[in-house]
Amino acid sequence: MENSFILTLLLLLPIVGSLLVLLLPKENHQLTRIAGLAISVVIFIVSMFLYFSFDPANANFQFTQKIEWVKGLGIYYHVGIDGMSILLVLLTTFMTPLALLSTWSSIDVKVKEFTFFMLMLEAGMLGVFLSLDLFLFYIFWEAMLIPMYFIIGIWGGKNRIYASVKFFIYTMAGSLLMLVAIVWLANSGTTFTTDLLELYKQGPTLEPSKQNWLFLAFAISFAIKVPLFPLHTWLPDAHVEAPTAGSVILAGVLLKMGTYGLIRFNLPLFPEGVREYASVISILAVIGIIYGALVAMVQKDMKKLVAYSSVSHLGFVVLGIFGLTVESMQGAIIQMVNHGLSTGALFLLVGYIYERTHTREIADYGGIAKIVPLYATILLIVSLSSIGVPGLNGFVGEFLILVGSFKSPILGSPYYTIIAATGVIFAAVYLLWMYQRVCLETVKNEKMNLLTDLNTREMITLVPFLLFIFWIGIYPSTFLRLSEAFSSNIVSTVMGALAK
């Protein structure tokens, strides 16, 4: 298994694909669009092969490939996949084609460049989830910022420059801290190495005070990406200015990198740091849950509302991670997928209505359920999924996170969970209130009477989301079983290290 080529293939496909797109004639937008979609669909199909040949009982990395890269420095090209990353890889390959398809009518300048950046972005995201070498990981982590920067900066809204610079600086600041920590960590053993599996052995043996510092450096970098309160203010701006597809990928996949990093690096590398900071981070997570929800409640712009709801939802994920029980870890992992699905779909829906009306102000709407019933129905289902109504996907994650973190020995107190659980009330308030003001009551704006309902292309982008919203809601075992072995393994590893 050490030399499986499939993950490298998965990484190369979007890169090669994006270069191919560059060769296409500039004027032929439709051809570029079809090519971009076809490439991303092929990538999705290849990733399905991973799903079918993945062994969920095995907690180790699978399909690994390891090639020495920088001789003497212990830097490797090392990729592999486990029960957590497979879900995020599938999420990435699933969302990219849908995001691309969603832009067919909204992006009509520099289509070629846009498709190029989207595919490069996909390569970057996959690289982040697949890397098993810290150096390699860091390269992808940074590289991924560039296409996102351009996607917001070129195809964004009025304030796009401010938003993209803010996004860039915020995340760069965190990344630099992480880089220093990576170098320090790689240098901490007998020989310099950035091989993650090697470092998994070294990290926990470091002195507690050093673990604490390293933990912090990584955690701050990831917390910005999550985003964890109070490092979240780049998110609403980035979302509001990003084009729809950018928001979908940003919310759907990019935000997961923060929580992914916490699980992949912070927990197993620095268990002492977990002991030291679990409660602080969990407090911030709980504040984020309530804060994000309350601020979402008073937003007048639909996109901002959804952006703040992400702050709230990701707070649940972080709480689940640091609850460090099998239930809460499983909940956190499935909730990453859930948030990608429901928030991705919400951004699509907001984007589609914006294309028609050129306004995202909630107050401009009202009563459109009568005019566009299909749209209203789907918006309701997706909102309910985000609210966490059982039977839909959101509940499964939220419930497991809460029930697990409640009994968490690391947190040692049920209050985190009890306060976090009030978030379920606020989620209902801000989403249903938005739904009411957009879809229900009476039409306030005459122009709304001319709205057209979702077209076939738009439906094609939404139906897959709905499918998984119901699937995970009613039969989550398909997905939970993939990460089960991983979750119990990581929890017992960290708890074991802390027991010593």
Partner 1 sequence: MTEYIYLAVLFPLIGFLINGLFGRLIKNEKIIGSIGAGMVGLAFIVIAFSFFETLGLPAEKRSRIVEWFTWIQAGGINAAFSYQVDQLSLTMSLIVTGVGFIIHVYSIGYMHGDKGFWRFFAYLNLFIVAMMNLVLADNFVLMFLGWEGVGLCSYLLIGFYYDRKFEKGTVADASKKAFVVNRIGDFGFLVGMFFIFYYFGSLNFSEVLPFVANSGIPSWAFEAIAIFLFIGATGKSAQIPLYVWLPDAMAGPTPVSALIHAATMVTAGIYLVARTSVIFAMAPTAMMIVAVVGLLTAFFAATIGLVQNDIKKVLAYSTVSQLGYMFLALGVGAFSAGIFHVMTHAFFKALLFLGAGSVIHGMHEEQDIRNYGGLKKYMPKTFLTFAIGAVAISGIPPLSGFFSKDEILWMAYANGGVVFWIIGALTALMTAFYMFRLLTLTFEGKERFDHHHVHPHESPAIMTIPLMVLAVLSIIGGFIGLPKVFVGEHGNLFETWLAPVFKDATRKLAGGAMHSHLEEYLLMGASVVGAVAAIMLARHIYLNKPDIATTVANSFKGLYKTLYNKYYVDEFYEKVVLKPIMAVSDTFLYRFTDAKVIDGAVNGTAKIISFASKYARQFQTGITQFYAVVMMIAIVGTIFWIILSF
Residues in contact with partner 1 by CB under 8 A are: 166, 169-170, 187, 230, 232-234, 291, 294-295, 297-299, 325-327, 330-331, 367, 369-370, 384, 389-391, 395-396, 399-400, 402-404, 406-407, 414, 417-418, 421-422, 424-425, 428-429, 432-433, 436, 439-442, 474-477, 480, 484, 487-488
Tell me the CB-side half-sphere exposure of residue 418, using CA atoms within 13 A. 4
- Distance in Å, CB of 170 to partner 1, minimum: 7
Tell me the CB-side half-sphere exposure of residue 70, using CA atoms within 13 A. 11
User: Which residues partner with 3 through β-bridges?
Assistant: 65
Residue 495 one-letter amino acid: M
Tokens read off for 447: 């122009």
Nearer CB in complex with partner 1: 258/292: 292
In angstroms, rounded to a whole number, what is the distance separating the alpha carbons of residues 312 and 323? 17
- Distance in Å, CB of 128 to partner 1, minimum: 24
- Distance in Å, CB of 171 to partner 1, minimum: 12
Distances (CA, A) of 496 to 27, 225, 261, 429, 472: 60, 28, 20, 41, 31
- Positive or negative, the CA dihedral 191, 194, 200, 205 is positive
Nearer CB in complex with partner 1: 244/417: 417
- Distance in Å, CB of 100 to partner 1, minimum: 28
- Distance in Å, CB of 161 to partner 1, minimum: 13
In angstroms, rounded to a whole number, what is the distance separating the alpha carbons of residues 7 and 226? 25
- Distance in Å, CB of 265 to partner 1, minimum: 21
- Distance in Å, CB of 187 to partner 1, minimum: 7
